[in-house]
Structure 1
Amino acid sequence: MKSVAVIGASLAGLYTARALRSQGFDGRLVIVGDECHRPYDRPPLSKGFLTGATTDQGQLALADAEEIAELDAEWLLGTRATGLDTGGRTVLLDGGRSLTTDGVVLATGATPRLLPGPMPAGAHTLRTLDDAQALRADLSSSPVRVVVIGGGFIGAEVASSCAALGHDVTVVEAAPLPLVPQLGHAMAEICSALHADHGVTLLTHTGVARLHSGGTEDRVTGVELGDGRLLPAEVVVTGIGVRPNTDWLVDSPLPLDDGVLCDAGCVTPLPAVVAVGDVARVNGVRAEHWTSATEQAAVAAQNLLAGSTVATHHSLPYFWSDQYGVRLQFAGRRLPTDTPRILEGSPDDRSFLACYERDGRATAVFAVNRPRPFMRLRREMLLAVPP
């Protein structure tokens, strides 16, 4: 293999490029990214970057100038991939260009789901650095009324950041309670209480009918709920999930179903094509988490260079979230019927460690402001993951 194209210049793409070099690939390496920025860290966008605690864009960089030089890659930034030929060896790019290569890494990530209808000024999603810069600018004036649509992790983090900046914040969640699919009802109820602890209004079991706008700049003025209520707002942030960026692959021979379908080694039915990160559905699971993207990279690179699946990805799902000065951490694979048990601390103190149990064994661990004991239990559970 003399050349590899990495399509996607974010976390998963960068880590796969690193893995290719560390595993001995010394051929042509091309990294294509639709954003104009070099790889940066996304988690701070809804937290420190939004509040201003992270002031320098350089603090978000995932690689410094020295490492960029050592990668010895060609960077095609601000360039969008538009198609993949039937053999999987030629990537079509915008502007009628193409890129022929021996191997392809699909790392195009995901894009936010949108509400139906237009997005007036003052209405935002939060996925990219440009998104975060635009939202931060709208939050930089005197206190405004903010409506966050979606009470998941991104929505909760944005609500937390807006509250810390002194804004009046309301979170609208369609489900009866946010985060139940991830944490179960008991733990989700504890996390939802964090909003009230910090003066944020949480409205559940209600959808959004449409956004209202007006004025000479056609800026957002409010959010109309499904039950007819109107919430005045100068800023609206929609965080209702993401969808994998696979539209450009619909005419390719790759199987697509909520992501690019791969085996346990991140290999697609085309052996010269692997997928990593948010766009990859590995063994039937698409994990939208930072850790999954980084762990998949080494395995995908190894299999791409080998031309077949010689290694598989086995890990324990892990994610974290920072809200209202509280760190939430989760690791494991829980079923809805698993029972959570408090091991130490107290939910009333917003500091505790819990494990989920099934038939007398631990299936997952969840912590609120208990990072050290959480990491200990996570390591123990990692040791139990089959090779």
Structure 2
Amino acid sequence: MGYPAVQFHKEKEVRRVVIVDEVALEDEEDEMTEEEEYMRKKDDEVARTRVCHMTSKKKTFTNVRRNAFLPRASPSWVETMSMGFSGKIWLLDTFNYLAPIDQRGYRLLASLTQEEMKAEYERALDMNTTPPKVKFPFNGDGIFLPPMSSMDVGKCPLPLPNVLIKGNKPPQNSSALAEMERIWNIGRSYLKCRCSSEGKADCGTGPSWFDHVIWFLLYNMDILYPDAPTPRAKVSSLIKCLSTCWKPLMLTSLSFGCGREVMMLLANKIVANPSLTIDSVLVRVNDVNRKAFKECAKLLLMSKYVKKRPRANEVCKGSLVNGPLGRKRWEKLKAKEGSAHKFVHIHYVGRLMDPLGDDDDDDDDDDEEEEEEEEEEEEEEEEEEEEEGEGEGEEEGKKGEEEGERGGKEGERYSGRAQI
């Protein structure tokens, strides 16, 4: 009986040692996991700092900051590109992109009804993105907006930024690109720091579109709810916030998205056919009598930025001038020399729209080609006239010879009669 008892105690000690070793291994694995998690977070912070450094360097040393204008990118492309910046769409080439949230996304996030969706669509067609009984700067009950520095270290650290609406104020720079950027974002809600409103100097960090902020918070919900125990609790808290105190801002973004679709529809038609006018661009368009379509057509096709080319049956203003070989040719009257229209055309190059003026190489090349064609036509007309003149001279010479022969015969007859 003694031997089995001793064997039992020995096996018990072995099991205890094995259990202790397993616990030690689990602790080491947990420590390695925490260390790896810490290193991963540090790598993310270094990458974000590097991106912010490159962004600040670009803002400091580049004079063409925010000069890109790429509004025709697809939502899937914007979503893919924003993943490299942790959802910060404003770090892309331009801030004219719209957050890739469609109408179904707004309906889900803000818990909207079908009637509310239809009402926002009707307001968008009336060029009014502000919900009823809502005033901007927006300051609803219980609203909390995080400081802009929590979303981007390069932005203003003051708490409680304002929420404003982009108005129709003319830009200081009267170029076609500045006008296009202005009209492309009319009625869009954005966050602005309180530096100017509190009497301080403007920090110069620039605003952030509200739809960009929503997209960023979907990627980084720890900013609003750092103490939430689970991701499900964070999502529930965010949806509750968007459907209650932030609901007017969500309705504004939804209405602006509908208006942007109208702009995109007309812009795509203009890209396909740049010769369209304010009236012809609205042909075969539904709801053409609504204010949104008419106003967007006027904004996209401003008379001072649209190049008017004369038709084939129209008479161009100009005068006859002496060419280098002494021949006269027809020269068009330029805008700087007379009352002709000043030609400025908004030219689409890929996804970038650049304003082209009278001094561009393309217009000069067109004028030179037209002048060469006119000179060739005049030379052909002169050669035809010379050939016609030579043909008429030969016919007149033949007629003169025939008349001379007849006169000689008649003279011989008269001389014979005189002799008789």
TM-score with structure 2 setting the length? 0.21
Structure number with greater Rg is 2
The structure carrying a bigger strand percent of its residues is 1
| Structure with the larger RCO, 1 or 2 (CA within 8 Å, 6+ apart) | 1
The structure carrying a bigger helix percent of its residues is 2
TM-score with structure 1 setting the length? 0.22
